[in-house]
């Protein structure tokens, strides 16, 4: 088993602080908008505007604007237009964050996988060291056995597979 190295990087404390500060700035800028927290039932039951219904919403509000005599008194067309624009603006922001989130997840998966692979290589080397009676290796292996995610029913697996 050799260790792959698809990513080799680090984030300085200064960069990490700047990134987290920028995220907090974004949260602050959107503070008056990000005030709702829907539960699963509410998310399921709420009317949703997607790609297919966007044209319907836009056309309906255009007709309502150009035909005010046909608009019910209880419909605030200008507010509906503001809601539509907010939805479009938020979708644009969301799309940028979604792409960033996917890239972050990929980098986390690769770096985590490589770290885990490194730990498995060391674990297997400790198993070999114990078989060769290398001093100090048994206590290290015993400690690692307690933490090894694939240890199942408390026993040592003779082969570290890396599967949880």
Contacts of 80 by beta carbon, 8 Å cutoff, 6+ apart: 61, 64
Supply the pTM of this predicted model.
0.74
Mean pLDDT of 141-151: 84
Q: Residue 160 pLDDT > 70, yes or no? A: no
pLDDT reported for residue 70: 97
pLDDT reported for residue 79: 98
43-69 b/e (C-beta count within 10 Å ≥ 16 → b): eeeeeeeeeeeeeebeeebeebeeeee
Q: Residue 153 pLDDT > 80, yes or no? A: no
pLDDT reported for residue 162: 43
pLDDT reported for residue 149: 73
- Output 16 or 5, whichever has higher pLDDT: 16
pLDDT digits (tens, 9 = 90+) for 63-116: 999 999 999 999 999 999 999 999 999 999 999 999 999 999 999 999 999 999
Q: Residue 161 pLDDT > 60, yes or no? A: no
Q: Residue 156 pLDDT > 60, yes or no? A: no
Q: Which of 121, 117, 118, 141 lies closest to 131, judged by CA?
A: 141
pLDDT reported for residue 1: 59
The number of C-alpha atoms within 13 Å of 73 and in the hemisphere containing its C-beta is 0
Contact between 76 and 64 under an 8 Å Cβ cutoff? The reply is no
What distance in Å separates the CA atoms of residue 55 and residue 104, rounded to the nearest whole number?
A: 33
Q: What is the largest distance, in Å, between two alpha-carbon atoms of the chain?
A: 92
pLDDT digits (tens, 9 = 90+) for 21-64: 999 999 999 999 999 999 999 999 999 999 889 999 999 999 99
What distance in Å separates the CA atoms of residue 22 and residue 28, rounded to the nearest whole number?
A: 10
Contact between 35 and 54 under an 8 Å Cβ cutoff? The reply is no
What distance in Å separates the CA atoms of residue 29 and residue 107, rounded to the nearest whole number?
A: 27
Residue 148 burial (CB < 10 Å; 0-12/13-18/19+)?
middle
- Chain-centre distance for alpha carbon 76: 37
């Amino acid at each position: 088993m050799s260790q792959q190295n698809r990513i080799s990087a680090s984030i300085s404390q200064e960069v990490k602080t700047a990134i987290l500060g920028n995220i907090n700035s974004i949260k602050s800028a959107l503070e008056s908008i990000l005030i709702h927290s829907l539960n699963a039932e509410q998310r399921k039951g709420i009317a949703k505007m997607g790609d297919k219904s966007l044209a319907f919403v836009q056309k309906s509000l255009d007709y309502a604007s150009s035909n005010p005599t046909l608009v019910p008194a209880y419909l605030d067309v200008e507010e509906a237009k503001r809601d539509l624009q907010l939805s479009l603006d938020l979708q644009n922001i969301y799309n940028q964050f979604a792409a960033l989130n996917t890239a972050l997840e990929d980098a986390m998966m690769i770096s985590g996988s490589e770290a885990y692979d490194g730990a498995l290589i060391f674990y297997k080397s400790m198993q070999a060291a114990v078989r060769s009676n290398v001093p100090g290796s048994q206590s290290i292996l015993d400690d690692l056995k307690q933490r090894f995610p694939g240890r199942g029913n408390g026993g040592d697996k003779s082969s570290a597979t890396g599967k949880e």
